[in-house]
Structure 1
């Protein structure tokens, strides 16, 4: 049976379920669930749509999923507590942020080996790659006492950090505009301020040229394919005072919609509890929002900025990546399984996800040790790392 075009799939990493939910964006239904490593926290899809990379923060590894079969076909071991992951546009390299190691692992997707390790700032969290593939931007969350955040700019030809751009405190999310001229960094500005902002960096000068105020405790960000909108997941739509405990089941989060021509919030869309990450479909018609506290994915219609459907997924979804639209041919096997053969990629997403093939084994890369731990609570990706650094006082303040 021939297929003129295959709708992209959304891949959701469920931290506490240790699996990935696969959503068909044409029907907004979960079509598969793939078991991966311990506490998956980042996802990316290869530019040709054939592979999905999933970082497992408590396994110090990356699971490689065959997108046609929805099956893990390999595991690559990287640094400690890997979170963010991204591909170069040509799919030849993948970059992984090792938060507890303060490094970026560079994976050669042809050999599926880690070919370089780049030292960056304190607690690298997420990664974005420029559209031309020449630069990688790693957002570093910072450490006590000041939690000063910054962005490490890496030259992909040399794997050297060529610039460091200071932003605000405790940044989490990062995205590059489709034309490569701007980088958007989400600053949580947590304890004791809780004043969420987005720093706008001019990539030509590596200077922050504007700051956009958003809701409290923001996390992920994604930019529309045409570059006119940015979508920011915020845990608390108002301004959190910091005077009471944060309950992940009692606060309804939202997505702030930024007009990137004016650098101002023009709309706010209510979603589930504690939204963590966002992604935009290649056609720009939908935004997928991971609701950590609700175990759901909200699907926003970008034409109306309304949630059209809410899809139940696994426990504590923390990351999402959406594949490209591809033209395919399909052969139906004897067991009814459809094996898709990609022919042509027509568009790829330009937010802080995106990824390719792999083939490492446990013997290819030595695993770095990390303390064994049970499922971590909301925001624990930072809390655990701070604990690793001995910042017990900060954890008590946050609680």
Structure 2
């Protein structure tokens, strides 16, 4: 994500799909969990948290109160993940996109990338999948693929056949991938090239829009790059920078307007609550940002509440009722921790939930 290298883990071991070994191992030690959670054959309950263990080769299942109760091996250094309405999870790893049945907690497949990414490695700059998102109808999956030392790619996967059908060039290191609410466009947020690649889903025509509210001076050595994006109900893209500036990109025109933010912390993960509230993860002091880690809760009128966090975090997901935010502690640089912070968005109270192995991507599993 940022400059500098953070150590990663995972030996890339991969059992055959559906083998017993694929159901556990590779994560941090599990906290006590109810027998119903652990029992073989028991369906995973709705509301379970799923995290991508960037420091290993697994995804970990966490009960939101009791902690981890299972893990599934998916591939080296998993980064982003997306979960469909059917409960199937798609995980961007260094080796390919893993497909996990979250109800039975088994890996079903791993889809290799069409783009060449070099040797399989781990750590902050590893090649392979980063941002990932599903089309609204669940028929297509879009994954941003990092190619060390060169431009990345957006790969399109048919979720029925589980095959890569198309590849579109992007900018450098596509950190995040998002889909418009009508499914007509996909957006790859390219960290190292200060831009967003917008791709039409019908023709795959692509255009590049610069998003650099601080300018691009410093190039690869700059801290002031885009990381994660949230797509607002009106179609505009929200990209937070440094807890100081919110870049609002209109993808129809490419025009960027800038709104003031107040946390003054280097910002990564972003997500929207059901009511449109923007949640942004602050990782701590970097560059011009001097304040500690936090979660920004930004209402539609632009007012903000800052919830302090203990140490750097990376990404955020929100409960279906919009009351609780879950912030992953994995962070790709030093200072990460193996767990998730749950934040009550009304009271601001937080609690730490140990689990996972440097968890980055995070999702709340839906009910079925």
Shorter-chain TM-score: which interval? 0.7 to 0.9
Aligned-pair distance for 1:207?
1.9
Corresponding residue for 1:72? Answer: 107
Counting only pairs closer than 5 Å after superposition, residues 1-399 of structure 1 correspond to structure 2 as 7-25=46-64, 27=65, 29-49=67-87, 51-57=88-94, 59=95, 61-78=96-113, 79=115, 80=117, 81-100=128-147, 101-143=151-193, 149-162=194-207, 164-168=209-213, 169-177=224-232, 179-187=233-241, 197-213=245-261, 214-227=263-276, 229-236=277-284, 240=287, 253-262=293-302, 264=303, 266-292=304-330, 293-307=336-350, 309-326=351-368
Q: CA separation of 1:6/1:296 partners in 2, compared to 1, >3 Å: closer, same or farther? A: closer
Unaligned stretches of 5+ in structure 1?
144-148, 189-194, 244-250, 327-399
How far did residue 187 of structure 1 move? Answer: 3.4
- Give the match for residue 334 of structure 1: none
The answer to whether the Cα contact below 8 Å between 1:130 and 1:180 also exists between their aligned partners in 2 is: no
Partner SS state of residue 118, structure 1: strand
More off after superposition, 275-284 vs 314-323? 314-323
Greater alpha carbon shift after TM alignment, 116-125 vs 252-261: 252-261
Which whole-Å CA distance do the structure 1 matches of 2:348 and 2:186 have between them? 31
- Cα distance in 2 for partners of 1:196, 1:220 equals 15
Match of 1:361?
none
The equivalent of 1:359 in structure 2 is none
1:81-102 C-alpha deviation (Å, 9 max, x unpaired): 2111000010000000012251
Q: Distance in 1 between matches of 2:178 and 2:169?
A: 16
1:142 is paired with a residue whose SS is helix
Q: Displacement of 1:289 after TM fit?
A: 0.2
Q: Is the 8 A contact 1:187 1:196 kept in 2?
A: yes
Contact 2:58 2:75 in 1 (8 A): yes
Counterpart position of 2:23? none
Alpha carbons of structure 1 residues 267 and 77: separation in structure 2 relative to 1, 3 Å: same
Unaligned runs of 5+ in 2: 1-43, 118-127, 214-223, 331-335
**Contact in 2 for aligned 1:232/1:255 (Cα 8 Å):** yes
TM-score (norm 2): 0.74
- The structure whose RCO (Cα within 8 Å, separation 6+) is larger is 1
Rate the CA distance shift 1:242–1:207 in 2: closer, same or farther, 3 A: closer
In the TM superposition, what is the alpha-carbon distance from 1:180 to its structure 2 partner? 4.1
TM-score between both structures, scaled by the size of structure 1? 0.68
Contact persistence 1:14–1:21 (CA under 8 A):
yes
- 1:284-320 CA-to-partner distances (Å, cap 9, x unmatched) read 111110112121100111121221x311112211111
Q: Which runs of 4+ in 1 moved over 4 A?
A: 238-243
Distance 2:306 2:189 in 1: 25
Give the conservation status (yes or no) of the 8 Å contact 2:181–2:235.
no
2:217 counterpart residue number: none
Query: How many angstroms does 1:140 deviate by?
Result: 0.9
The structure richer in strand per residue is 1
Distance 2:287 2:207 in 1: 36
| Conservation of the 8 A alpha-carbon contact between 1:121 and 1:152 | yes
Distance 2:50 2:257 in 1: 33
State the aligned residue count.
295
RMSD: 2.5
